[in-house]
A and B are shown apart, each in its own frame.
Chain A
């Protein structure tokens, strides 16, 4: 079998700060690699065609759809999932705000939602509600109606900017 048609790929990457080496099927999606091979079940597969955002993770600092990326493409990257973001404490204020504001119901969209919000908050400043809504329009939530999520994000952005909440 030629290199181009090899169906198993060796990859080396860091996931949540830990070095990972693996041999993955060429067709393995990143979300399946994380969930099935690494046991990181925080990110969820929702639609598997890049629309719902439940599988959103961070790859080299960018929010990425885990269902639209192959594990093979992650070779050499730095990957963060909700489990790792939780351990490092970088979004603890956001998680606390989600709980306090009940910005989640079934929780299935929440890991992807938090990953997308982290990307927005990392840009700094205090986005207005319309900008928050626009940023989150790639993340479906079927339970909350979104308002509580917008409230939570707004309150964290203000708190981080030192504004009164």
Chain B
């Protein structure tokens, strides 16, 4: 069955329209249900004693004083939990050479970062558990800490995990063409060193889990703020020695994720282990300091990079040397080699060039582990690529738009395979650039910039083209051996009153998944979206699926929903055809009515069909299929990933006295294929942009040389606030993927992918007449002034 998406007047045309989110009204009325809102009978609270050292041997643990605190129930050490919970090793077979030591729910002999959980205190209230935790005495013997990325592999640097042999977790070199020859014959070579700071997600809802173990039923139930309920089900079952079918993960409202809540955290597994030991519900909610020391970090990269161009500005080669420090462990089960790997995959992404060399070196450090956070690797690759392209344009005296025009893949070139061996089904770099320039009135903006510069006002315009990896196939994790589903499913059923229930394996983190699914199912079946109730986030109820990550919800979960809805429609029409004595293809369902497909004349409301099927099935022919429920799964198979593309622009002003950067306006044109809900897509892009702007201007986790985290509070780790953020203009080009009927690709990470590069290029555009340039994020006033030579101490 096909849908004429090009015809906005088609019946039930909900795909492509802004439809309100069904879950929004309860969230604006204070009726959300986040994990910390859930209270169970006999529930106890766990609080963790965490290592104050970056690296230390754990000696004697004295819990006597803590145990005497009123309300304390039990105290667990690493050795205690190791008896019921097996350790994990976060490697994947397809990331050749990746290594990481076994990690326990609580550190057993050695703590490896500030925040590593060492002791768990369980009490009847969180306050009592916190009071007692402060009284636990751990005899630490500090060990040398590895804290500098670029010297991690030096021979005089201690090896963090002696069993691993050295501090190199993973290295990958990719080479295509003859890079040295290309650089040798280049008209210009530009070289630069880039840094992206250590970030973390700062979800407003801290990580939260409430686990109940009912030994009488042999059933574990985890209420969890997670993006991947089925993955967590698998992990808890495996490491707590439970049958997978006896672990149920329920994910109600989640207060922000951005990748932070798609990983396995030792304290959360410890909470489940303790629930199993104590056979009562145990709740863990991280406090804000714990969020900063134990939520995954990301983006801690240093990159040496160069570009070779000919006299016409054609790109001949990129040469990338990426380094990243992941902390003490690779994070389970997705691993911490993915971000570096993505940098190798994505550099040079928009451009048609022949010679490419990229290497990533991933090293261990005594810091918080890093892992996948919104737009994994993209902001780094885009900043390096687009930074170099702008620098090359400046060397050539060429406009930044013109050099991109000369190098971007032509819009009719697809399918193509990039020098990084990424396969692009269909992108729209030139159409997107056209639209961007029109939206921002590029020429007028350049004229304004020139006029203001005469008055000593230094404004900059920065452009960043990018590609984004979405709709991942098993090539992302499954082929490496991880039980992470790239497939997703949806079950759609019609109840007697004609209402539709859709159960989906993708999850709602606030991005609007449930609205998106409701309108797809509404269109697929032929009812109003308000007639569709969407249920997500319960492993005992929904089809098995991957959840929310790598911008897969709409493209994969949405297609499964569409196919199951179309199948249900066919089932309904088969029953209707029998009841109405009409050929099935002469009937259709529109706005909850079975209608004559040519005239649109109403034949029967769905509630009447429901009444007959469910209560008067005796009146239907024996043997007539009457299942008003259908399930379909979808997996991408033609391409490993559905790449999207886009281009962003930043307009800003640099105060050359204070070094402050004022964002004036931001534009993004993005091609995520078929747009299901324009408003939700735009707001995903805007939210993503602002997360990228945070990385460009404010966000940086600081450690001292001993591995102490220095800014573990919201007052000290700066994230974007309302006053500093610009208004953002969003535009679209639509190149649907042909892999699915729906044609949707992901949109959730594009904003974050391109924004830092656009800002960097805009700042450098403003500073260029002064001979200054910044490449180390975030671009703080101090760094801008240093670049200008105004601070030199």
Contacts and interface: CB of A to CB of B under 8 A. Distances in A.
A44 B205 CA distance: 8
Contact of B34 (A25, A108, A136, A145): A108
Interface residues of B, number: 54
B511 A108 contact: no
Interface in A109-147: 109-111, 114, 129-130, 132-134, 136-137, 139-147
Interface string B739-771: 000000000000100000000000000000000
Given A102-B512, A149-B722, A41 B37 contact: yes
Given A137-B722, A142-B203, A145-B686, A107 B28 contact: yes
Interface stretch (A58-66, A71-79, A80-88, A156-164): A80-88
Given A27-B127, A106-B205, A98 B714 contact: no
Nearest to A114: B28
What secondary structure prevails in chain A residues at the interface with B?
Answer: loop
A100 B253 CA distance: 20
Contacts of A109: 204
Interface in B682-737: 683, 686-691, 713-715, 719-723, 725, 727-728
B10 interface: no
A54 interface: yes
A141 B203 CA distance: 9
A99 B262 CA distance: 27
Interface stretch (B18-26, B231-239, B421-429): B18-26
A145 B728 contact: yes
Contacts of A47: 288, 713-714
B509 A99 contact: no
B715 A49 contact: yes
Counting chain A CB atoms within 10 Å of each CB, the highest count among B256, B509, B689, B722 belongs to: B722
B287 interface: yes
B581 interface: no
A81 B29 CA distance: 10
Contacts of B672: none
Interface string B17-46: 000110111011111101011000000000
Contact of B20 (A82, A100, A136): A100
Interface string B218-257: 0000000000000000000000000000000000011111
Nearest to B37: A41
Interface string B277-301: 0000000000110000000000000
B25 A99 contact: yes
Contacts, number: 169
Given A47-B713, A105-B687, A146-B690, A95 B204 contact: no
Interface residues of A, number: 53
B25 A108 contact: no
Contacts of B686: 144-145, 147-148
B536 to A, nearest CB: 14
Given A41-B30, A107-B32, A148-B686, A102 B679 contact: yes
Contacts of B25: 95, 99
A106 B29 contact: no
A51 interface: yes
A106 B256 contact: yes
B262 to A, nearest CB: 14
B690 A145 contact: yes
Contacts of A104: 24, 27-28, 510
A123 B37 CA distance: 32
Nearest to A130: B723
Contacts of A133: 722-723, 725
Interface of B: 20-21, 23-25, 27-32, 34, 36-37, 127, 201-206, 253-258, 287-288, 509-512, 679-680, 683, 686-691, 713-715, 719-723, 725, 727-728, 751
Given A35-B36, A46-B288, A106-B255, 10 more contacts: A27-B127, A51-B715, A102-B683, A105-B687, A110-B28, A141-B204, A145-B687, A145-B691, A145-B751, A147-B725
26 contacts: A40-B30, A44-B205, A44-B255, A45-B36, A47-B714, A49-B715, A99-B28, A100-B20, A102-B683, A104-B24, A105-B683, A106-B253, A106-B255, A106-B256, A106-B257, A107-B24, A110-B27, A134-B722, A137-B721, A142-B203, A142-B258, A142-B719, A143-B256, A144-B683, A145-B690, A147-B686
